[in-house]
Amino acid sequence: MKKQHLPTKMCPICNRPFQWRKKWEKIWEEIKYCSEKCRRHKKQAY
């Protein structure tokens, strides 16, 4: 994969795009949040 062709997703908490990372390779479909901070604050958003 070339860096300019990495998949991206939008974080539902901060509404910012984030890119695929090697450590998420096997679980990319499950990733919803861009960071641990956003994941922790998911309950406050609703």
Along the 46 residues of the chain, how does pLDDT read in single tens digits? 567 789 999 999 999 999 999 999 999 999 999 999 999 987 765 5
pLDDT of residue 1: 55
- Determine whether 20 is exposed, middle or buried from the number of CB atoms within 10 Å of its CB (0-12, 13-18, 19+): middle
Of 35, 26, 21, nearest to 12 by C-alpha is 35
User: If you search the block for the tokens 């919803």, which residue do you land on?
Assistant: 32
Question: What residues have CB less than 8 Å from 7, skipping those under 6 apart?
Answer: 19, 20, 28
Determine the 3-state secondary structure of 33 from DSSP. coil
Reported pTM: 0.74
